[in-house]
Structure 1
């Protein structure tokens, strides 16, 4: 009886090992494969699939390319030559969106999960991990009495912060609609950009604070007490003035818990899209507080019915005149020429108002639209311009 049991155990072990050996010996699919000429090959095993397509951030919005079937099960697509950059992509298999199972590197942007890859060279070298001193990233919880809850934010501290006693300037960096305190760290590659700019001597060492601009949330979806809720674009209190009114809670936490300069000359604020909207009005409603203002594809003048009835949005011209009188070192605006027309027009209207009031500003118009490719670029161009004389 013991011999029979032992034989059964050995037989089961043999079958298990054969199965594991088959897993490890199975030929691995390489996807994506980046070629020296800048083309990229994608591969997917789909023996039962009837149609497979690929969508990527190198394509225009909502476009896709059909993949070709090779043999009985392998689907393949080769891109045209791509410019260096940080790219997102996904597959669609018989109408169902899917990530690439051969690529473990994924990122969330609002509610969409996509694979990512980096094509090195040029501006994209800001986005990769290089052999330079590295800063640290922490997720911190702070009291927000104005919102009657504890809330979560992200903080980048520069290389050497922990071992020093010096005080540092602070950049408050705000995300767009549907984003959260993780957006700039993921799609925005903030930690890599800051490490590389500081390491190259192109930017002053600084603290970067990335709050959650959705005051209805404690934290990013899945990171707060609400649990694994579905990420969404529109939440209560979106762009209604509540975030701007309670922004002081964030500054109080940062300046009480980090070694900051604590002066207007030591503070900058910038944001993309909704975060650009927030930036414009925070800089107005906290007078003489920020010396550097950056609007990236800012969502200005986008509500056809006018801004919500909040004191934050009242007396725009008077507040701009006061901002001009208080003085600032840099008012920086950037947008893509192919951005949404309503946003592009809103930015131009804002610039006309600044010109009317004699407020100096720097304007950059680039190719492309409302994309992370532009916002990463804007950050790499804005950061070297701040705190340079402080």
Structure 2
């Protein structure tokens, strides 16, 4: 909100005045001019409207829409539960909910989805907020959503306040999966000053790589942390998710990553060959997969980034840790997070997973993030994950 918002009438004031004018047969043009004036007082970001107690009011203007809903983190993705109300005599729809004051959320408007529409039909009619310029690209399916950071939300790095522009990356490669015949894109980030003749670099492999590239703007975060000497220079390989036609079993995906992708990268870039210097990560279902791969292939990976892993994992992880101990492998270093406002069962499951990892000898960094289950929260936590795995002091041996 701009500074002028300090002197702005509240939405309650606007609603009362619109309803009063509508009751006195004011013209649509008169009411529209009043709404225009109200929105103009909000400066560059006139909505959503945030009040001191966490009440958030979303606004959407349309003279033709029959129904509008707002969907997103914390408030949920069921349009029938978050249907907006049209303000009497106007083209303005509104909906109010209370959000935690520290939350990061992604949200969108859903226009004219039938009452009996399927639960996920909102994806087909998803629109970002025209009144909020802060946006985020989401993948699977590809769409644009708006971002709302509540007043108490932690700040992102200075260069990463928005990810509206597609970040620059070092290159893109295409690698065939011999098991399926499918092709996967690999986006490779090289750190500033990359010099293959003078040093070897640790590596981070990220599943669902297009999301980390587009939704999180990871290269921008990496550039800033490296420039500020908070992490050592690191090579990052962002791996495209397989198409539905080329899905693999967990073991098959582990073989592809460990036996195809890693050697292919090692042949072409100045990477460290020590598993301790290799980390694999992902978010949501890919967090589960990354952790499983790290334990299945402890000969290749020594670290994990698991953002909101899907539940339940603890029993299987305990079995893999025990098997690895018998084979002489130590437990991986694990960064794990979960959305503070995710489902309670997901939070409990993630905490149980961390307890299992610690019991199995793993070094674990755990945090709850002020958000739900999306990159609006995950990207805010990424600097912490990167500092945990690639803090400067741990990599003096590679200088």
Aligned to 2:108: 90
Deviation at 1:146, TM superposition (A): 3.6
Please, which moves more after superposition, 351-360 or 165-174?
351-360
- Decide which of 195, 202, 220 is 1:169's aligned counterpart: 202
Relative to structure 1, the CA distance from residue 101 to residue 163 in structure 2 (aligned partners, 3 Å threshold; closer, same or farther) is: farther
**Quick one: distance in 1 between partners of 2:74 and 2:356?**
35
How many residue pairs get aligned? The number is 330
Q: CA deviation at 1:264?
A: 2.2
Aligned to 1:108: 138
Partner of 2:45: 33
**2:69 corresponding residue in structure 1:** 53
TM-score (norm 2): 0.66
- Which residue of structure 2 lines up, in the alignment, with residue 193 of structure 1? 221
Give me the whole-angstrom Cα distance separating, in 1, the residues matched to 2:192 and 2:369.
31
**Per-residue deviation at 1:243?**
0.7
What is residue 242 of structure 1 aligned with on the other side? Answer: 252
1:218-250 deviation digits (Å, cap 9, x = unpaired):
xxxxxxxxxxxxxxxx76645542211221211
Whole-Å separation in 2 of the counterparts to 1:342 and 1:238: 27
CA displacement at 1:106 relative to structure 2: 6.0
- Corresponding residue for 2:193? 160
What are the within-5 Å matches in structure 2 for residues 179-328 of structure 1?
181-214=209-242, 217=243, 237=247, 239-247=249-257, 248-299=259-310, 301=312, 316-322=320-326, 325-327=328-330
CA RMSD of aligned residues (A): 4.2
SS at match of 1:89: strand
Identify unmatched segments of 5+ residues in structure 1: 1-26, 176-180, 218-233, 308-312
Distance 1:162 1:338, change over 3 A: same
294-303 vs 280-289, which moves further: 294-303
Residue number in structure 2 paired with 1:22: none
SS of corresponding position for 1:386: helix
CA distance in structure 2 between the partners assigned to 1:112 and 1:302 by the alignment: 28
In structure 2, the residue matched to 1:125 is 156
1:279-309 CA distance string (max 9 Å, x none) = 2222123234333222222235469xx98xx
What is the deviation of 1:61? Answer: 4.6
Q: State the partner residue of 2:335.
A: 332
Residue in 2 that maps onto 1:361: 364
Relative to 1, partners in 2 of residues 1:42 and 1:374: Cα closer, same or farther, differing over 3 Å?
closer
Q: Structure 2: give runs of 5+ residues left out of the alignment.
A: 1-35, 115-124
Per-residue CA distance 1:25-54 (angstroms, 9 max, x = gap): xx9x98972579967886654223344333
Aligned-partner Cα distance in 1 for 2:174–2:184: 5
User: Is the 1:294–1:382 contact (alpha carbons within 8 Å) kept by the matching residues of 2?
Assistant: yes
Separation in structure 1 between the aligned mates of residue 62 and residue 386 of structure 2, nearest angstrom: 45
- After TM superposition, give the deviation of residue 80 of structure 1 in Å: 7.2
> Would the alpha carbon gap of residues 122 and 334 (structure 1) be closer, same or farther in structure 2, given more than 3 Å must change?
closer
* CA-CA distance at 1:278 after TM superposition: 1.8
CA distance in 2, matches of 1:191, 1:111: 22
